[in-house]
């Protein structure tokens, strides 16, 4: 998933913060309280008309900026049945997704069932989960997709049977889905690029965006490249590769060996993690600056500790709160913005002291990106009265 520089100093969501005895501190450790999952909220968002001129398949393109305001529980005419399936629950991002879905389902008082497919190789399993959602009588399905294309027949079949389908997190190319809560990774990459350009000094940069062909990696790379085009920030190397630590370690070592005068390295959260170790071992921590193309708790800690500079977040908690509200809005026939099918939070950039004037950790709200500390994934939410 995963999911900007002029808005980076603002906190992500505007909803109330209260201490929850059962939850503890927020996942990123930046606050001692977590968002009250029953509280009202609004968030700066991007809205895209998927039928507009210039919008590519999968509803990719330029949108308009506005504020996303969800329905109130009193707006619902019934406790709708929502079914959710995501690739897995093996990392902090998808656990955060589970928290966002659970929180919004509880706030709205809907019936929610949550499934994980077991990994990105389990396309057949996710197809079965979609089919089971339909057979179990779901009013809406929220899909955090394993594949952009392979799930389309199952999703189209669900729509044909009257089920509302919301594409969330990763993105699918089906033109039948009725709503999308997907942050464009182009904006994630652009946020980092804009930050480097704003420093106003020549920089030699290597870009390690992730797996070649992966939609999020390619869009992130394009956003970064477009942001630095024509500036004094020069991309001297681009290396694609899987996000496994061994692969990224090899890419980092090859890059540093090939470019002795490198000023910055921009890459995935895994890239940043392995690179900071390599740089420390070589005594180059202060020579090569590290920037992430997305953030996880490890990246945030590295930024806090001065071992990385900045990284953007797609705010997965809020992305999937929007997905739940969007599903209910379509069922209630109360769209947030008529004609705009894709709604997503505006990405935020978290920057530490090494970022100078762009430093914003004192206002960065990790609760929009990570689940509360100690959160255990929830599979069922029953309607509240």
Q: 246-299, pLDDT tens digit by residue?
A: 999 999 999 999 999 999 999 999 999 999 999 999 999 999 999 999 999 999
Q: What single-letter DSSP state applies at residue 126?
A: H
Residue 303: CB atoms within 10 Å: 28
- Is 92:297 a contact under the CB 8 Å cutoff? yes
- Is 162:148 a contact under the CB 8 Å cutoff? no
- Higher pLDDT among residues 213 and 332, named by residue: 332
| Measured CA distances, 348 to 24, 35, 275, 351 (Å) | 23, 17, 23, 10
Question: What average pLDDT does the segment 141-163 reach?
Answer: 95
Given this chain, do its domains 17-183+314-346+366-381 and 185-313 carry the same CATH topology?
yes
- Is 184:347 a contact under the CB 8 Å cutoff? no
- As a CATH number, domain 185-313 is 3.40.50.2300
Q: What single-letter DSSP state applies at residue 60?
A: B
- Is 348:187 a contact under the CB 8 Å cutoff? no
- Higher pLDDT among residues 385 and 23, named by residue: 385
Distant-in-sequence, close-in-space partners of 62: CB < 8 Å, separation ≥ 6: 48, 54
Residue 67 DSSP SS3: strand
- For the chain, give the longest Cα–Cα distance: 64
Distant-in-sequence, close-in-space partners of 323: CB < 8 Å, separation ≥ 6: 100, 101, 142, 166, 168, 169, 179, 181
Q: Which CATH class is domain 17-183+314-346+366-381?
A: alpha beta
Q: 176-188, pLDDT tens digit by residue?
A: 999 999 998 999 9
Give the ranges where 239-382 is alpha helix by DSSP (H): 245-258, 269-282, 297-304, 316-332
Give this prediction's pTM: 0.83
Q: What is the pLDDT of residue 1?
A: 60
Average pLDDT of every residue of the chain:
89
Q: What is the pLDDT of residue 121?
A: 87
Q: What is the pLDDT of residue 35?
A: 53
Q: Where exactly are the structural domains of the chain? A: 17-183+314-346+366-381, 185-313
Query: DSSP string of 155-173?
Result: HHHHHHTT-EEEEESS---
Q: What is the pLDDT of residue 113?
A: 98
Scanning the structure block, which residue is given the tokens 């998927």?
Answer: 50
Q: Residue 31 has which token pair? A: 């606050």
Q: Residue 383 has which token pair? A: 């309607």
- Is 327:140 a contact under the CB 8 Å cutoff? yes
Q: Which pLDDT band holds residue 213 (cuts at 50, 70, 90)?
A: confident
| Strand arrangement of the beta sheet that strand 233-240 belongs to | 233-240, 203-210, 264-267, 289-292, 310-313, 348-351
Residue 147: CB atoms within 10 Å: 15
Percent of the residues in the chain that have a pLDDT greater than 90, as a whole number:
76
């Amino acid at each position: 998933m995963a999911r900007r520089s002029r808005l980076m100093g603002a906190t992500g969501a505007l909803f109330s913060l209260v201490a929850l005895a059962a939850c503890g501190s927020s996942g990123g450790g930046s606050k001692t309280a977590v968002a009250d999952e029953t509280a009202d909220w609004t968030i700066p968002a991007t809205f895209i008309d998927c039928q507009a001129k210039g919008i590519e398949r999968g509803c990719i393109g330029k949108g308009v900026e506005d504020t996303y305001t969800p329905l109130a529980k009193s707006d619902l005419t019934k406790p709708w049945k929502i079914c959710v399936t995501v690739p897995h629950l093996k990392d902090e991002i998808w656990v955060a997704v589970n928290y966002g879905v659970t929180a919004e389902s509880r706030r709205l008082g809907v019936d929610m069932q949550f499934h994980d497919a077991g990994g990105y190789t389990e396309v057949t399993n996710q197809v079965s989960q979609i089919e089971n959602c339909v057979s179990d009588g779901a009013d809406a399905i929220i899909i955090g997709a394993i594949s952009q294309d392979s799930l389309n027949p199952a999703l189209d079949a669900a729509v044909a049977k009257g089920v509302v389908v919301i594409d969330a997190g990763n993105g699918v190319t089906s033109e039948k889905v009725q709503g999308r809560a997907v942050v464009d990774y182009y904006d994630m990459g652009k946020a980092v690029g804009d930050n480097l350009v704003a420093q106003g000094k020549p920089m030699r940069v290597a870009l390690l965006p992730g797996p070649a062909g992966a939609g999020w990696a390619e869009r992130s790379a394009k956003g970064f490249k477009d942001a630095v085009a024509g500036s004094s920030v020069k991309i001297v190397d681009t290396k694609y590769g899987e996000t496994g630590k061994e692969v990224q370690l090899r890419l980092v070592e090859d890059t540093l060996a090939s470019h002795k005068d490198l000023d910055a390295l921009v890459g995935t959260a895994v890239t940043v993690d392995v690179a900071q170790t390599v740089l420390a071992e070589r005594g180059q921590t202060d020579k090569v600056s590290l920037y992430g193309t997305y953030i996880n708790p490890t990246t945030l800690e590295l930024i806090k500790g001065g071992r990385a500079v900045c990284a953007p977040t797609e705010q997965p908690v809020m992305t999937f709160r929007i997905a739940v509200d969007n599903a209910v809005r379509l069922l209630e026939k109360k769209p947030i913005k008529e004609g705009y099918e894709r709604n997503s939070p505006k990405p935020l950039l978290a920057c530490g002291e090494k970022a100078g004037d762009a430093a914003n950790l004192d206002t960065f709200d990790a609760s929009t990106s990570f689940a509360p500390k100690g959160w255990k994934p929830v599979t069922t939410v029953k309607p509240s009265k």
